[in-house]
Amino acid sequence: MEEEVSGGGMVPSGGVPGERSQVLIPRSHLFSRLALFDLANPVAETWFGCVFGVVGAGGSVYSHAATGDSATAAASVRKTVKMSEICDFIPYGDADGASEVDSPVDSLGSVESAVPCEEMQETPDYIRRGAAPRHKMAPVELFSGPSSPQDPPPPPERGAAAAGEEGTAHIGRAHEIEAAAGVTEQGGRLHAEERQSDCCGQLKQQYGLLLREKEECRRLLEDLMRENEVKTRECREAQKTLHDMKMELLRKSMHVGSLVEGQVKEKSRLCQLLNELSEKFKVLKLEHQNLRQESLEYKNCILDATQMSTSIQEYVNKYANLECEFKDLKEKFSEETKERKDLYNKVIELKGNIRVFCRCRPLNADEVAVGASTAIDFESAKDGELIVRGHVSSKKVFKFDSVFGPEEDQEKVFERTAPFATSVLDGFNVCIFAYGQTGTGKTYTMEGIEGARGVNYRTLEELFRVIKEREGIFQYDITVSVLEVYNEQIHDLLLVGSQPGATTKRLEVRQIAEGVHHVPGLVEAQVSNMNEAWEVLQTGSKARAVGSTNANEHSSRSHCIHCVMVKGQNLLNGECTNSKLWLIDLAGSERVAKTDAQGERLKEAQNINKSLSALGDVISALATKTQHIPFRNSKLTHLLQDSLSGDSKTLMFVQISPNENDVGETLCSLNFASRVRGIELGQARKQVDVGELSRYKLMVGRAKQDMKDKDAQIKTMAETIQSLEAKNKAKDLLTVNLQEKIKELESQLLVERKIARQHVDNKIAQDHLQKQHNMKDEKWCMRSPMAERNLNSTAEKLAAPRDFGIAKQMFSDSNSENYSFKQLMSLGEEKENNPEAGQLPPSKARRLSVCNGGTRQHQPTDPASRRKSLIPLPRRNSLMPLPMAKPLAVATPPPLDKITEHLSPPMCSPPVVSTTRLAGTRGSTASCAEAFRRK
Ligand SMILES: Nc1ncnc2c1ncn2[C@@H]1O[C@H](COP(=O)(O)OP(=O)(O)OP(=O)(O)O)[C@@H](O)[C@H]1O
């Protein structure tokens, strides 16, 4: 189906962009020249179509774009096509080249003739060439048809005015050509042959040219066609791509639609979800707020907790500190308690009471065998208390310094006993004794057994340990004696032959000094170490009287006494001590009826009880502070007098039996021990060796006296020294004054000597002259031999004028007081330095001999005599003024013999005034005195 397009052209309907379009143009509208344009709009987005141009009656060629749906393509391109261009395209209506025309005349008929050669030639190459690319896309098949004169002129378009003008010009020319062609047709018949021959040549030429041009155009067209093909293909591809894209777009739009639908659903779902979520969010927000609030609260709580933990930590620290303090306080308390106890003990000790330790033995095998029960309660043993349960549910509490139960071993017991051992070495008398019912363990406590040594052994051990410890500071001599009181007799157990039962020498207790009792004749074994001491003790113990009783198989039938005498000397201060350690194992008190003793055992028991009774009496007397203490009622108390009367430190072990059957004896013993504990003996006294002390005291007294004497001597000496120093000072002062005086006198003397000498010389010279005059006068009367006279006169002439001149001058000077002291001094010095100058020259001597009648007169050497006899002292004021000297009354020189001590150094040397030491000046003063004496 074909549609008529504006401008008279028919455009095949349903033209697809990019596809070949055929425009059917009625032949009436085609004037012979048509231009085919590629109306592809390069800016069209979708497709482009073909445009055909119609040369209207006005001579304009209008281009109409058959555009698809693009508005931009609607802007038709209007072109004014030259005839040459139209001709160029006519043979190529078929884009594929299939309808190729051999000649344009064939297809266009008379058109070819209507084409003016000039116009063809005028057609510029660039148009032709530039047209090529424009015709690539749409080859057109032209059909001739009636042209429509009613073709409306193209609408005036903005921007196409210029093209319209140009097009008008061309159309005008084409019209001319058309007219010419019509003339040709009409006149051709008339002048065909004439004009044919003329034009034929021209046409042939033009035709040749056109052919060439055609060839060129063909080539161009081919290029354009190829290009067009390429473009077409590209367009097709593009169209295809576009189509694909459209399809894709469609598909996608569909997909999008489905997606959108889904999305809408999703959206609604999401909206719902969002709503739910927003609800949830609101809830969560609320929860968050709540949580935030809570967190704030928790934060505050944490702060509070931190503060609390800090305060708790502080409290913990405080608690720890308090605990530490409490611990410290506890320790301090325990220390204080201990100290208090010690102090209490010390107070007790100072009070001087006897310390009592109670020890209970365990039930022995027999007692255990008979099922004996214990009557002693040791619950408060640590506090020194024990409770004795009586038969009738009565209890009695006893308090002692220490209580040792049956389980306490020897070591524990000795721990509390050890300080007593040290006290012995410190010079105190110590008495340790064990008291108690027979068979209660007295011997066990004191001596012990193999493997469980008792107090005796351990005390000695401690003694020697401390002695070793104090080595170099103290020196000790230890002697040991062992004796027993058996049947009120003292036996020395160290004597040879003192075996049990053997008759030994009886010993007595004697008082050798105030408060010192001794057993004369007692063997004292010197020991230097523990082994020796123990050996001695064992020897004595073996000799002890032991018997078997009902109560004890090996019952001690005597009081065994070990005496350790300690002589100590402090090597630092020389202090000596004499102390004693009594270690007494008393015989056990027993009820004769109970033990059923008979014979010797009975006698022993009676003596034992008697001595123990005496001990009880003494204790009672001491406890009640009775004036008379019955020490001498028994040998035992007599021996222990020193220990019980106050000088000693006494320790009593009260031994008891745990057996319920022995409660009576136990109570007796404990009561006795309690009484003993209450005794105040007074402060223990150190047993300083008196002899040594007095000797030292004497020595000290002597030394003190010596010191006093020495002090007095030193004092007097110091006083003497002081007075001597004062004297020395005065003498030094005097010496200085005297030295000054002496100097003055010396200078005076010197001057006087010189002057005197001058006087003497002058006098002699005058005398000599006088004599010469006299002699001359005599010669006149009595002529002398010439030789002699000449000789004398010559000598006189030589000597006299000079001496006389000088002397005369000096004398005159002296008289006139014009010569100076210096001159005199120099003169004097000259003469003194040259002794010969002081003497008279030979001529003078001769003169003297002449004066004295030829006999040589002895020159007096003593200047004093000369001065006395000849020379008056020169007036002092004629010389230098003398230095100021103290008046003699003030510094009167002492007598010569006294001066010897105090005079200054000799005049030849200046005095050295020394006020420091007397001795230093003594030498100088002596020499000074000597010089003065010589003077
Ligand atoms: N604390 C104790 N631990 C163990 N055994 C003990 C203790 N005390 C005493 N004995 C034992 O009891 C017995 C009697 O002791 P011991 O001979 O020492 O008594 P005694 O008081 O000296 O008697 P006597 O006065 O008759 O001499 C001994 O066999 C001794 O070993």
Task: Name the class of domain 352-663.
Answer: alpha beta
State whether the beta carbon of 874 lies less than 6 angstroms from ligand 1.
no
CA distance 279 to 287: 12
State whether the beta carbon of 658 lies less than 6 angstroms from ligand 1.
no
893-897: long-range pairs with CB below 8 Å, 24+: 893/738, 893/741, 894/734, 896/929, 896/932, 896/933
Q: Which atom of ligand 1 is nearest to the CA of 555?
A: 26
Nearest by Cα to 655 from 386, 420, 348: 386
- Lowest pLDDT segment from 62-76, 342-356, 625-639: 62-76
**pLDDT tens per residue across span 781-795:** 565 444 444 444 444
Element (H, E) at 692: helix 690-781
State whether the beta carbon of 437 lies less than 6 angstroms from ligand 1.
no
State whether the beta carbon of 588 lies less than 6 angstroms from ligand 1.
yes
- Lowest pLDDT segment from 75-79, 353-357, 408-412, 606-610: 75-79
Between 666 and 813, the more confident residue is: 666
Contact residues for 361 (Cβ-Cβ < 8 A; gap 6+): 406, 440, 441, 444, 655, 656, 657, 658
State whether the beta carbon of 70 lies less than 6 angstroms from ligand 1.
no
Kindly give the distance from the C-alpha atom of residue 404 to the centroid of ligand 1, in angstroms, as a whole number: 14
Tell whether 438 is in a known binding site: yes
Residue 458, pLDDT > 90, answer yes
Residue 5, pLDDT > 90, answer no
What is the average per-residue pLDDT within 270-284? 85
Q: Is 195 helix (H, G, I), strand (E, B) or coil?
A: helix
- Lowest pLDDT segment from 31-40, 209-218, 545-554: 31-40
CA distance 325 to 322: 5
Q: Which atom of ligand 1 is nearest to the CA of 359?
A: 1
State whether the beta carbon of 438 lies less than 6 angstroms from ligand 1.
yes
Q: Which atom of ligand 1 is nearest to the CA of 446?
A: 18
Decide if 564 contacts 463 (C-beta within 8 A): yes
850-857: long-range pairs with CB below 8 Å, 24+: 850/768, 850/771, 850/792, 851/764, 851/767, 851/768, 851/771
pLDDT of residue 810: 45
Tell whether 145 is in a known binding site: no
Between 154 and 633, the more confident residue is: 633
Tell whether 439 is in a known binding site: yes
Q: How confident is the model at residue 357 (pLDDT cuts 50, 70, 90)?
A: very high
State whether the beta carbon of 556 lies less than 6 angstroms from ligand 1.
yes
* Probe target for ligand 1 pocket from 437, 443, 541, with the most ligand atoms within 8 Å of CB: 443
Q: How confident is the model at residue 362 (pLDDT cuts 50, 70, 90)?
A: very high
How far does CA 778 lie from the centroid of its chain?
A: 128
Q: How confident is the model at residue 777 (pLDDT cuts 50, 70, 90)?
A: confident
> What are phi and psi for residue 608, nearest 5 degrees?
-60, -50
Residue 394, pLDDT > 60, answer yes
Neighbours of 726 (CB within 10 A): 11
Average pLDDT of every residue of the chain: 68
Decide if 547 contacts 555 (C-beta within 8 A): yes
Q: How confident is the model at residue 465 (pLDDT cuts 50, 70, 90)?
A: very high
Kindly give the distance from the C-alpha atom of residue 17 to the centroid of ligand 1, in angstroms, as a whole number: 148
Nearest by Cα to 140 from 11, 28, 22, 61: 22
CA distance 684 to 350: 7
Q: Which atom of ligand 1 is nearest to the CA of 549?
A: 26
DSSP assignment string, 735-802? HHHHHHHHHHHHHHHHHHHHHHHHHHHHHHHHHHHHHHHHHHHHHHHSPPPHHHHHHHHHHHHHHHHH
**pLDDT tens per residue across span 76-130:** 433 434 444 444 444 444 434 433 334 443 433 333 344 444 444 444 454 444 4
Kindly give the distance from the C-alpha atom of residue 607 to the centroid of ligand 1, in angstroms, as a whole number: 21
Tell whether 374 is in a known binding site: no
Residue 513, pLDDT > 70, answer yes
Tell whether 442 is in a known binding site: yes
In the chain, ranges of CATH 3.40.850.10 domains = 352-663
* Probe target for ligand 1 pocket from 403, 552, 595, 607, with the most ligand atoms within 8 Å of CB: 552
State whether the beta carbon of 8 lies less than 6 angstroms from ligand 1.
no
State whether the beta carbon of 448 lies less than 6 angstroms from ligand 1.
no
Tell whether 306 is in a known binding site: no
The two beta strands, 648-656 and 429-436, are: parallel
Q: How confident is the model at residue 639 (pLDDT cuts 50, 70, 90)?
A: confident
**pLDDT tens per residue across span 693-741:** 666 777 888 888 888 888 888 988 888 898 898 988 899 999 999 989 9
Q: Inter-axis angle of helices 918-934 and 690-781, to 10 degrees?
A: 30
